Amino acid sequence: MQKFVRDRGSAASQCLPIHQIWIILVSFRYFFDSSELVRRTLPTDLLLVARRLGGRLAASAVCMLASCSDAMDSGGTRAGHLVIASTSATVLTCRVEASGAIAPCLAAAASLLADPGGLALWAEHAYIMNLGNDSLTQCHMDGSGALWACEPTAAGQRLAAPYGMAASSGRMYISQLDDTLAICALGRDGDVTQCARASGYDAFAGPAGVAAGGRFVFVANQRDNSVAACLLSSVGELAACSKQEAAGLLSRPTGMAHEGGRLYITNLGDSSVVTCAVGAAGRLESCARYVNPQTLSLPLSIALNGRLAYVSNLGNHSLAECRLDRQGAIESCRIAEAGDDFLYPAGLAFRPDL
């Protein structure tokens, strides 16, 4: 069991600048473990800088430890479970109380995982993308949040360098680095079947994170800093796609989530989270960017729970808890750490109690 430790970031101010700390931490994984997650998501220039700073890793990592604080005020949250995949081949399942407080997390190793990336929850099942061997692992998730009966899916044999994914209305949408989206059917038993590849009407450019909401699927494009908004047909296929620039606020967009008519996008380029209202025809409107180097460090994935957002930080192996204002924009964030089992977090998802 690992207990989260919350921090406002004051300890980091006494150490290296925060941007140097996350470069060092990520480079350590990259050069010694050759993580597929890092290779697929980090720009080359950051890795070159990291080599020059690598000698100060140990001291900087110690400086990131901090003291506990009270739970964040989080009206409108739901009780449930937060599931977090880590590139250390573990999956954390964390109980979330109705207040938004995170209880101690259970870390479980899974032999079928190989550099876990994207994570999606649907009904009583969890799906974990393996970037190391381009496969998809399916697990049963019971009411206590425990994962069991994990097995590879047949769909994983037909994927082409997959990265992000989202489940909605009996369909699984999986981004692939060949600028396509795999659309698969979800059976009653949770099996992933009948996968077909869609080009997205040339709207995909280095697709990463995927989010589904209403009649739309949204895909983060890292190569041209855009979002593809795709209208779904009545059977869950792509009917039309268009590119959105989110007011020019995107910088290597990676993770995505949709809730309450708003889209949330993590950005590796400037360690920010951009939030946009989703208007007619999937148009992104009233976009705003939140940046806080004390709490966001290479934000990778994001999950939503009412007026709270959870963000996995690849840079300092932490979880950021972010409070949303009444309009759904991020108001403030703070760090929650989970020890060694949380090294290099990848995908995360929240499931309210069924």
Q: Read off the pLDDT of residues 64-116 as tens digits, 9 standing for 90 and up.
A: 322 233 445 545 899 999 999 887 778 888 899 998 888 878 877 666 788 88
Helices (H), the chain: 18-33, 36-41, 44-53, 57-63
Alpha carbon distances (Å) from 286 to 173, 275, 329 = 26, 8, 10
The radius of gyration of the chain from alpha carbons, rounded to an integer in Å, stands at 19
The answer on pLDDT for 18 being more than 50 is: no
The reported pTM is 0.81
Between the CA of residue 117 and those of 37, 126, 135, 148, what are the distances in Å? Answer: 6, 13, 10, 19
String of DSSP letters for 211-251? EEETTEEEEEETTTTEEEEEEE-TTS-EEEEEEE-GGGT-S
Query: Mean pLDDT across the stretch 29-33?
Result: 41
Buried b (16+ CB within 10 A) or exposed e, 143-152: eebebeebee
Per the listing, tokens 């109980």 go with 95
Residues 164 and 256: beta-carbon distance below 8 Å: yes
Q: Is 158 exposed, middle or buried (0-12, 13-18, 19+ CB in 10 A)?
A: middle
Point out which residues pair with 274 in neighbouring strands.
265, 289
For residue 71, count other CB atoms closer than 10 A to its CB: 12
Every domain of the chain and the residues it spans: 5-63, 80-329+337-352
Of 57 and 330, the one with more pLDDT: 330
% of residues, the chain, pLDDT over 90: 52
Q: In angstroms, how far is CA 298 from the centroid of its own chain?
A: 11
Q: Is 9 left (phi over 0), alpha (psi -120 to 50) or beta?
A: left
Taking the C-alpha atoms of residue 349 and residue 277, their distance in angstroms, rounded to an integer, is 21
Q: Is the pLDDT of residue 24 over 70?
A: no
Instruction: Say what the pLDDT of residue 117 is.
Output: 83
317 vs 351, which has greater pLDDT?
351
**Chain segment 158-213, per-residue pLDDT in tens:** 788 899 999 998 999 999 999 999 999 999 889 998 899 999 999 999 999 999 98
CATH code of the domain made up of 80-329+337-352: 2.130.10.10
- pLDDT at position 343: 61
Tokens of 277: 């209202």
What does the chain come to in residues?
354
* Residue 264, helix vs strand vs coil: strand
Task: Give the separation between CA 182 and CA 203, rounded to whole angstroms.
Answer: 14
pLDDT of 298 above 50 = yes
pLDDT averaged over the chain?
Answer: 79
Q: Is-contact 250 274, C-beta < 8 A?
A: yes
